[in-house]
Amino acid sequence: MIEFLRRFYKDDEFPFLWHYMPALDDLGKPIPGVATVPQFVLEVGSGKGGFLTEYAQKFPQNYILGIEWDLFCARSTIKKLQKLGIKNAMVIRGDIFYFLRDLMPSNSIDEIHMYFPDPWPKRRQQKNRLILRDGFLEQICRVLKFGKRNFYWASDHEEYNAIALQTFRKFPHAKILEENTAQPTYGIETGFEKKYKKEGRKIYRSVVELRVES
Ligand SMILES: C[S@@+](CC[C@H](N)C(=O)[O-])C[C@H]1O[C@@H](n2cnc3c(N)ncnc32)[C@H](O)[C@@H]1O
């Protein structure tokens, strides 16, 4: 079994003692390792957890992990999970790039979902776009299991979407399977998608196969 999650925390009593121990769920059982569930999937920037929660309910045999930078969003997801008694989902608060680079083992995730990432529309902010961050797609590719694995993408921002597609086309291991024509994955609309659809915005959804060789 690939164990992927350990908690790093300070001792309550002894100030210089730190613990680095396997993470346990609220029943005291180790959080499932990636090899113990049929599908282990990851959502990048899971927001308030609309997709994550519905996915976990729809696929109780699988496990979904959301990585979310914003504390308020991460907490609001956890509240939903607690209220619904969902046990096959988890949120880690932090920056997805460093989480993948520093913590996530290679060859460990079945699919990755990235929906409505912040578009950073102003020119001086564009360096913050995740898809364009140096080494981001390489990390995505590395953590996906060997073989053909899918990366699901959606955006309402025409220009960022076009740049993302261009980046996928240039990436040596990527093949775009559905370009701007994909439907909500497993029929699940994300929180932002619902809002944008009400506003009448156009949504661009694509599926990219990332072929990872063993
Ligand atoms: C526009 S929201 C979309 C939320 C959700 N995916 C949806 O479709 O409803 C983008 C989310 O990505 C998160 N985010 C942005 N950069 C991130 C990063 N580097 N690591 C983790 N989360 C990030 C933001 O905090 C925000 O909640």
Ligand 1 center–CA 13 separation, angstroms: 36
| Dihedral, 44, 34, 50, 193 alpha carbons, nearest 10 | 40
Its pTM surpasses 0.85: yes
Tens-digit pLDDT profile for residues 27-37: 777 776 666 78
| 203 pocket-lining for ligand 1 (C-beta < 6 Å) | no
Residue to mutate (ligand 1; options 64, 91, 96; most atoms within 8 A of CB): 96
Q: Is 118 annotated in the active site?
A: yes
Look up the CATH number of the domain holding residue 159: 3.40.50.150
Residue that the structure tokens 């029929």 belong to? 187
Ligand 1 center–CA 47 separation, angstroms: 5
Tens-digit pLDDT profile for residues 117-126: 999 989 888 8
Three-state SS for the chain is CCCCCEEEEECCCCCCCEEEEECECCCCCECCCCCCCCCEEEEECCCCCHHHHHHHHHCCCCEEEEEECCHHHHHHHHHHHHHHCCCCEEEEECCHHHHHHHHCCCCCECEEEEECCCCCCCHHHHHHCHHHCCCHHHHHHHHECCEEEEEEEEECCHHHHHHHHHHHHHCCCEEEEECCCCCCHHHCCCHHHHHHHHCCCCCEEEEEEEEECC
Residue of minimum CA distance from atom 27 in ligand 1: 47
Give the integer Cα–Cα distance in Å for 175 and 35: 26
| 50 pocket-lining for ligand 1 (C-beta < 6 Å) | yes
Ligand 1 center–CA 69 separation, angstroms: 7
67 CA: nearest ligand 1 atom: 21
pLDDT of residue 117: 97
70 CA: nearest ligand 1 atom: 25
Instruction: For residue 20, tell me if it sits in a domain.
Output: no
Beta strand 63-68 with 89-93 is parallel
Instruction: For residue 8, tell me if it sits in a domain.
Output: no
Instruction: For residue 18, tell me if it sits in a domain.
Output: no
Domain that holds residue 147: 32-212
Q: How many Cα neighbours within 13 Å face the side chain of 198?
A: 6
pLDDT of residue 66: 97
Tens-digit pLDDT profile for residues 149-187: 899 999 999 999 999 999 999 999 899 999 999 999 999
Catalytic residue among 110, 118, 134, 156: 118
Instruction: For residue 47, tell me if it sits in a domain.
Output: yes
| 69 pocket-lining for ligand 1 (C-beta < 6 Å) | yes
| 95 pocket-lining for ligand 1 (C-beta < 6 Å) | yes
Instruction: For residue 4, tell me if it sits in a domain.
Output: no
| 120 pocket-lining for ligand 1 (C-beta < 6 Å) | no
pLDDT of residue 2: 54
Residue 127 reports pLDDT greater than 90? no
Tens-digit pLDDT profile for residues 46-90: 999 999 999 999 999 999 999 999 999 999 999 999 999 998 999
97 CA: nearest ligand 1 atom: 19
Count the domains in the chain: 1
Q: What is the mean pLDDT of the chain?
A: 91
Question: How sure is the predictor about 1, in pLDDT bands with cuts at 50, 70 and 90?
Answer: very low
